[in-house]
Structure 1
Amino acid sequence: MAASPRWSRIIVAGVITGIVMVAFNKGGGVDTPPIRSSIVPSRIDIPSLGIKAPLMKLGVTDGQVELPPYEKPDTAGWVKDSAVPGDQGPAVILGHVDTKTAPAVFYKLKEMREGQVVKVVRSDGKVAQYRVDSVERVSKDRFPADKVYLEDGLRLITCGGNFDWDKHEYRDNVIVYATLVKPAGSTT
């Protein structure tokens, strides 16, 4: 997933909007749990795609969302300003679709289907389980920041569509929307 300045600005705007709305409790009238910085997601498992990938923290540097390094194509990244998967709020995980020479961690993400399972293992040993609601491919020019950063659930994002050789990036994003069905640590 190549980082374009425009896409990064849209994501940053979405993250900032989400944080501000939650801070002022405008994100749906629901109290949010306190941020537990010591608990982070450590691995994502997508059984239907054969994915078991480590997760790293991604932040915002110089106004741009960090991406997992291309040198680690099998690693995805959790946007640390989003919710910890398994907790209330929008949790966002990014991964590359490919590198210059090979497929990357989210290469098959566009193949996800409604009802499939995504599991996120956390550093506290708990596992949050999600059910896929929908998958969409959208132009980077029309990135749905509010839907991604303000609504509860897990969001998996990668690049997709046609590659723009002039800009050296994909024109679209593939976004998977999933709902929490088994909170982290739940025994039912």
Structure 2
Amino acid sequence: MAESSRWSRVVVAGVVTGAVLVAFNKGGGGAGEAPVRAAVVPSRIDIPSLGIKAPLMKLGVVDGDVELPPYEKPDTAGWVKDSAVPGDEGAAVILGHVDTKTAPAVFYKLKTMREGQVIKVVRSDGKVAQYRVDSIEQVDKDRFPADKVYLEDGLRLITCGGRFDWDQGEYDDNVIVYATLVKPAARGA
């Protein structure tokens, strides 16, 4: 399985993502100025129904491509730092691998989530944002719903899914979980 090409179509969607995030960044200054980002970042994602408590790393958008968590850290997910901080207004996006060459990874069970289940995101300021799952969809990577993922309020969890194409060395689809904030970030919630 070719690790570098495995998420290639997600990265293609990242080209759209980069443009969308730059165009609609709510923290941006005037023309030519870099957006002002909060010092607060998400540090861990907890999904009790799946038994997940995973650290989060920052992922950027480089040359229009969304960075991915390293395969060497299969139990780590990544927050797209140009998206909203979970608990704040806007679309917060977290990516995680479904598996590695040899074992399941952090979002291996993501496709089994159900409407109404809880997702918590612990932030560096000690606050916890709690979300409720609204829906889960599996979409062909060539039809990635960038506007729905990156422009609508809420938390988005994304991983690979569907059939693994051995010739291409990647999965055909993405699994996307859409969740709505039910408890704004409160200390130690």
TM over 0.5, shorter chain: yes
Match of 1:152 in 2: 153
Q: Partner residue of 2:68?
A: 67
Instruction: Quote the Cα distance in structure 2 between the aligned partners of 1:24 and 1:90.
Output: 13
Q: Which residue of 2 aligns with 1:10?
A: 13
Question: Among residues 21, 28, 34, which one is paired with 2:24 in the alignment?
Answer: 21
Rounded Cα–Cα distance in structure 2 between residues aligned with 1:89 and 1:126 = 17
Q: Deviations over 1:133-152 (max 9, x none)?
A: 00000000000000000000
The CA deviation string for residues 26-71 of structure 1, in whole angstroms up to 9 with x for no partner, is: xxxxxxxx95431100000000000000000001224321111100
> How far does residue 19 in structure 1 lie from its aligned partner after superposition?
3.4
CA apart distance, 1:185? 1.6
Aligned length: 179
The structural deviation recorded for 1:12 is 2.8
Residue identity opposite 2:68 in structure 1:
L
Structure 1 CA distance, aligned partners of 2:27 and 2:187? Answer: 29
Where do 1:169-188 residues align within 5 Å? 169-185=170-186
Partner of 1:89: 90
Aligned partner letter, 1:120: V
> Structure 2 stretches of 5 or more lacking a match?
29-34
Give 3-state SS (helix, strand or coil) of 2:19's partner. Answer: helix
8 A contact 1:131–1:180 mirrored in 2:
yes
CA offsets, 1:48-100, max 9 Å, x none? 00000000000122432111110000000000000000000000000000000
Rounded to whole Å, the distance in 2 between the matches of 1:35 and 1:130 is 25
1: CA distance between counterparts of 2:184 and 2:39? 18
Q: Distance in 1 between matches of 2:100 and 2:42?
A: 24
Structure-2 separation of matches of 1:45 and 1:23: 26
Report the CA distance between 1:186 and its aligned residue: 7.0
Task: Give unmatched runs, 5+ long, in structure 1.
Answer: 26-33
- Kindly, what percent of the aligned residue pairs are identical? 77
TM-score, normalisation: structure 1: 0.89
Partner SS state of residue 184, structure 1 = strand
Distance 1:103 1:96 in 2: 8
**Separation of aligned partners in 1, 2:21 and 2:135:** 21
